[in-house]
Structures are given as C-alpha cells and as structure tokens.
Chains A and B, each alone.
Chain A
Amino acid sequence: MVTRRDFLKHSSLLALAPTIPGFLARTAHAAAPQRDRRILVVLELNGGNDGINTVVPFADEGYAKHRKTLRLPKDRLIKVNDEIGLHPSLGNFGKFLEAGQLAIIQGVGYPNPSRSHFQSMATWHTARLDPEEHKGPGWLGRGLDAPGRRSSALLVGSGPPPVAIRGRRCSAAAIDRLEDFALDSGIDPRKALAEGEPADEMAAFVQRSMLDAYTTADRLQRLAAIPDSSRYPQSGLAARLRIIAQLLKGGLDTRIFYTLQPGYDTHRAQLAPHSNLLFELSAALKAFLDDLAAAQLADRVVVLLFSEFGRAVRENSSGGTDHGTAGPVFLAGANLRGGIVGGTPSLLDLDPNHGDLRRTLDFRQVYATVLEDWLGLPAHAALGGSFEHLPVFQS
C-alpha cells in the first residue's frame, strides 16, 4: 500500500517540493488509497439539543400535547415526509437531504440514560455505560489506538482535546487558530536545508519532515492570501469549520477533527435562541460542505453531529425544556446514502422507567458504522462490543 508520504519519499519531486506546482502536488495526493484518507469531523452540539424541535414529529398527537409554547407551526417546517419536518432554521439540511448528503438517524440513545450533562457526555465520549469507565480513553482514541495505525486527532477549539479523541497511544492535539501553522516570515528556514537529500538516513527523514511541513505552511498561507470563494457566515462555529477546511486543503494528515457548538442547554425562553443556534449550525455546515466541494475534497469528508442528550418531551413552565434522553444524530457528506434511519420515537408512548423518549437506536451503532464503514478502524475494541451497523454509507 502506498501512502502519500511513501510516494513523496520515493519521488524525485521531493527535492523540488518547495516549488512543486499545484497540479503535481495534486497528483501526489491522488496516489494514495481512498480508505486511508477518509476524514471524520465530529461536531458536538453541547448542552443537550432539543431533538424534538429539531426533527419535529408534527404528526404525533403528543407534540401539540406536550409542546404548548414551543410548538413549531407545521406550515413553517421543512417537510421531510408525512410525519416529520425539520426546524425552519434548517433549510440547508433540507437541501442536503434532497441531495442525498444527509442521514438523519432518529431516536439515538443508550440504556438507563443519565440526565447529567457531565455523565451523559462522558458516556457519549467513551462509548462506555459504566461510569467507572468514564475516566478512560474515548471511542475515537481507542479506534486510532488499533495496532498499525499511526494517525492523529485534532480539536479545533479552545481547551484540551476532548475525551472522545484521546486514546492510550494515539496523539490528540488542539488548535484554536490557524496561525499555529504559520511559518515565521523573519527567517526563511528553507535556507537551512541542504540541496538534495542528506546522505544520513535520519537527517534525510528530518529534512523530508521539514519540507512537508513548510509546504503545508505555504499552502495554508497561499490559501489565506487568495480571495476565498467560500462564504462562511460570521460565527465561532463557522470560523472553526473554516480552519478545518483550510487544514484539509493544506494537506494536513490528520484524520479526525473535533469541534463544537455550545449553547444548547435551553432551560428557559428557548424558541429564539434555539432557532438561532440551528440557523448558525445550518449556515456554517453549508459553507463548510460547499467549501470542501469546491476544493474537490467533499467525497473524503463526513461530518457527525451529536448532542449528549435530547430534551424532555414536556416543555417546562419557563418556556424551555429540561434534560431528556434520546435524540437525533446527523451524518452529512457527499459519500453517504442519505435519508431517514430509525423510527421516530413516539411522544405519547414514553419509556415507563424514565418517562421520556424511548430510544430506537443505540449510539454505539452509529459509532460502529462510522468507525468500520467510513474510517476502516476496528470497532469492537473501541466500543467494547459488537453493534449492528446502520445502512448509511454507500458500499
């Protein structure tokens, strides 16, 4: 199997790397097998997204019954079918769905759901139900830990890398600004490099690493300099997704990116802020996917959107919702078999144990599907068991 790095290593182009014209650089890219180069972007909707007002079961009598002030008028929903419609802010999601680029996985949760942000988020991050195991590595970290994998994961955002991407062996890093990849203009460090490869194997390796890194820095700088045809809205999420797109265009060999959109903990006066959050999400995601499509990277990237829990079926008396259980998970990308997966949870037939939405799918089914069918990473060890895959990827 030839990786991009191997290709470059054995290529006489290498000595010219600083001046490799774009089309040759693309050829070098094309030499790599698709499977190793697939990218996952995880987007955490932090705080507990109100799944019921995101994928709205308007035909369910329970919707009008439990959602008095928060009920979204049926005629303003983005109709998906005779039973469900998307929040009016999710116009772009409707278009993705039509184009087969969005999978809406309904009713995703886990047994004995916790309504604690911390504990539920830890469950989602570690893919472990036992709180005793919540201090361990995360599901993606464990996936990347698999023998023979040498890959890394990156948080784009502030703070340390989240548990989900931390493993026992794999490396996880965090950046919140693209400048971390900018080369100081004061010295041109290429002047420090020998012409041609050093004879010593180790020095040659270091020199190759440097050429690779400087080339990435240059690409990112050029990308920053040319007027960008991509149109990102003004929001923190859009800025973070834009950084991910830039890094992908720059050729960074990270396979898993993680970022988040905070603010979903809508306990009071929820209508306007929730609508704004979803609008921001929808606009940022569209800009990101458009940007990737224009850069011909779309078929390499899948975005996974999840939240630590849905919100309670019954609205509270402050015009908001309290913590709930199952909720929808979304996958977006060009390589999907789009559509609706899993049954819509009933708002009348609630789970007798906790009085809230029954889950129709286990979150680890989503993870197993993404790990094996998209990333080609072994899921069993990562998830601590085997889970039935969902039919969301084109085989």
Chain B
Amino acid sequence: MESPARIGPSGAVGTWAVYVPSASAPWNLRRVVHLHRRAGFAATWNEIQRDLRDGPQASVDRVLAGRASSAGVPEEFQSTADLLGETAVASGDPARLKAWWIYRMLFGPDPLTERLALLWHNHFATSNLKVENLGLMRRQNELFRNLGRGLFGDLLNAVVHDPAMLIWLDAPSNRKGHPNENLARELMELFSMGIGHYTEHDVQEAARALTGWSLEEELFAEVPVRHDPGQKTILGHTGPWKGDDLVRMVLEHPATAHRLTGRICELFLSEPMLSTADTRALADGLRARNLDIGWAVETVLRSQNFFADRNLGNRVMSPVQYIIGAARALELFEPPSSTLVLAEWCSQLGQDLFYPPNVGGWPGGRSWLTTRAVIGRANYAAALVEGKRVGRPGPMKVLALAERYGEQDLVAFFTRLLLGTDPTPALRTRLETDTADAGRRAVARILAMPEAHLI
C-alpha cells in the first residue's frame, strides 16, 4: 500500500499517480507557472510566490476549488459579471457578450472553470452567426460553466436539448419523412464517439430518432406529430427509439469515454506524450465513474504526467490564453484594459468568442499561428505595454511592478514572471532596459518570444 499522498484521486495509479516533487522534478517556478498557464490564465508574481511556498498539493487544491486567482478579483465579481451578462444580452450587441466572458476570465477567481467552459464551447462549437440570439448563446455558455465539471452525461443531455444548439444544428427541420441529419451526425461524430464508430446507416436512423425535437418560445419542445415512431436500428440495437434513447446509447459506447479522455488530455497535456496504456487507464477510470469529468480533471492535474518535464512548454497557447494571460501576469487590473477591446484582439488573433469557425470548433494547436495571428500577437504585446490600444489611459509602469516585489533586474523579473525561466545571457544582450521606454519594449519583446506562446 502506497502512502496516502502518493495515491491519486480515487486511487489513480501508474503515471496517473500523484506528482511528488523530486530532485529530477522539483516544485519550482517553472512548474508553478506551468500549472497556472495550463489550468488557468497565468498567475501574478504574488500568486506564484504563494504557490511556491505552499507546494503542489495545496496549489492544485486551490485550482480545483476555484480560488487559484486572488489578484484583481473584485469583491462584487459575481454580481458585476451577472449584470454585464444581462446588459449585454439586452443591448443585442455581440461585442458586449464577448466582453462579458473576457471579464469573467480576466477578473474571476476560478480560471479552471472558465478554461473548461472554453473547452466545451469548442467541443460543442455553436456560432451566433447562425443562432442570432445572444440570450440563447449566454444560456448555453452558462451551461458549460455549471455542468462543465460534472458528469458528461448531464452535460451532453443538456447540450443536445439546448435551444442554441438545436437552432445551430437544424433540429426543428428534422421531421418525420423529412430527416435532417445535422444534429444526429454531429452528436455521434463530434460530441461523443467520434468518426469510425458508427455507420452512415446509424446516422440516418439516429436522425429519425431525433425527429420531433424542436423549440417553442426559446425552449426545448417535443412535437409528437413530427416524430417518426417506427423501429430504428442504431449501433446494433433495434427499437422505437427516441432522442433520449439515442443519447443514452452513445453515452454507453466505450468510444465516448475514449474521446472524452482525448478532449481532457488535449486541454492539459501535450498531444504525443501519452502512451496507449495511459489513455486507456484514464478512459477506463472515466467509464467506471459514470464519465465524471471532474474526476478526470483532478486526476490529470495532480498527476506525474501533468508535471513531467516532457509536458512543460510544448503546447501553443490559444489567443484567449495569450491575451488574458499577459494582462493578468502583468497585473493590468487598475485601471483595467477594456474588455471590449480585448475581445476584439481575440477575434483579430483568430478566436472570435461565440463565433467558432464551424461545427468542428477551432482546430487549435499549431494552426493558431497563422501569418495574421502571429503578426497580431506581436502587435498585442506592443499594445498591452503601451496601453492606449487596449483601452488603458497610459503606458504600463514596468519598473514600478518589478520594484513592488523588490526586483531591480527587469529582464530577469519579467522572464521569470512570464516564462517561468531565467533569462539566457543571449537574451540579455538583445534587450535593453536603460529607459522607461526601453523597459516597456523589453517586456513586449519577452511577450513576443517563441516561448511566450507555449505553455
């Protein structure tokens, strides 16, 4: 029997066993920065120092408990966020709804939940381009927040009954005798099992099972006269299936646990690092626990895999992570940047919130780095320290931030804060800091280093 500290959540073993600092994998600046960038939107210097002191268990506890971010969180955060959301919907202006979400990510105490909401916004990618209803888009977004760490079955059921999703995937036009396969196909291909685990015939039959699902006054409604009550054979099971039977069948399919594992690992780990055995162990664990997303998230975040050397700094940050992370780490809270402008930067850099490019979501990874996005990232770094083009009244006081923490060496301080590493001598020769202007330029250049785009 291993000591309790070495046993993962609910007994995870092997490479999913709990990370314990060692000489070869010490609890250091790099790993604290890694935790906050992978499971959140980067940490401030104080938060980093706090976690360095408290060790991995307490630090991951805080992430899971929704208390990872302490700096910049207003006392009235929740009520302000709600008010912003309501007024955004009332205004009918999509830019304000995007700004609402940016506000939640930049000023909220619980970055993990927002990261998971982003994951589900991508997994169940729905665009307001077609939905054209901000109230429904917000409702769907809250669903990702509220159910995003619970049982996947609850989440999937809620999403396929969600009005924005029903509009997005043409559920109302799927009627007896006039099937529309859109929702059936994506439910199988994108939301659950993944391609290769069903046939075209399954899709056709699944579409029949879903006939009659519709909307009334912006709420889910079943229209019995539009439902095809006949026998259907789906995934080898024959019966007079309805939509809910279909969802149950795909949830029970082993490929769904596997695909869910892939999605969670995609969020926290670098793609090629997992062995088949690792993946299978996590997928089996998920199946044994009724697809409990929270369990899988905790298992991964506490694991040796998560803190392994080969998992450090080898994923490309999404635009939202880059934009929010830089603003958070540099503590640009007061006066704050304009959340409207930050949302516009996200869009410029290729991640237009509430407007994913298609039903497959953002391809992510290396494909974030298009020509336009790379230029945009360098421009954002410059704009952030200069202030005006992110809606702040003036330039950032870089020296003041370093001095607040008793640091005189600007290059060293900002490299540690933003990259979690010490500056190389070569970097020092490239960055001058002798004036306030030069200091700001140096910070922007650190943000434009290849390593600053990797987590």
Which residues of A approach B to under 8 Å, CB–CB?
132, 135-137, 141, 150, 152, 160, 166-173, 175, 180-184, 186-187, 189, 191-195, 198, 200, 202-207, 209-210, 212-214, 216-217, 252-253
Contacts and interface: CB of A to CB of B under 8 A. Distances in A.
Interface in B250-276: none
9 contacts: A152-B370, A184-B379, A186-B382, A187-B381, A192-B449, A206-B454, A207-B450, A213-B374, A213-B375
Contacts, number: 128
Contacts of B315: 202
A189 B378 contact: yes
B441 A187 contact: yes
Chain B contact patch, size range: 35 or more
A169 B152 CA distance: 24
Interface string B368-397: 011110111011011100100000000000
Contacts of B129: 160
Contact of B130 (A135, A200, A252): A135
B348 A160 contact: no
B369 to A, nearest CB: 4
Contacts of B382: 184, 186-187, 189
A209 B369 contact: yes
A367 B381 CA distance: 43
B431 to A, nearest CB: 7
Contacts of B173: 132
Interface in B344-362: 348, 350, 355, 357-360
A125 to B, nearest CB: 14
Contacts of A202: 313-316, 454
B449 to A, nearest CB: 4
Given A137-B358, A189-B381, A209 B374 contact: yes
A79 B450 CA distance: 59
A195 B430 CA distance: 10
Contacts of A192: 430, 445-450, 452
A351 B314 CA distance: 63
B379 A183 contact: yes
B180 to A, nearest CB: 6
Given A184-B382, A187-B445, A200-B313, A132 B180 contact: yes
B372 A171 contact: no
A188 to B, nearest CB: 8
A169 B316 contact: no
B182 interface: yes
A193 B430 CA distance: 9
A187 B430 CA distance: 12
Nearest to B424: A194
A181 B386 contact: no
Given A132-B180, A186-B386, A194-B427, 15 more contacts: A132-B178, A171-B363, A180-B372, A180-B376, A186-B382, A186-B441, A187-B381, A187-B441, A189-B448, A192-B430, A192-B452, A202-B454, A209-B369, A213-B370, A213-B374
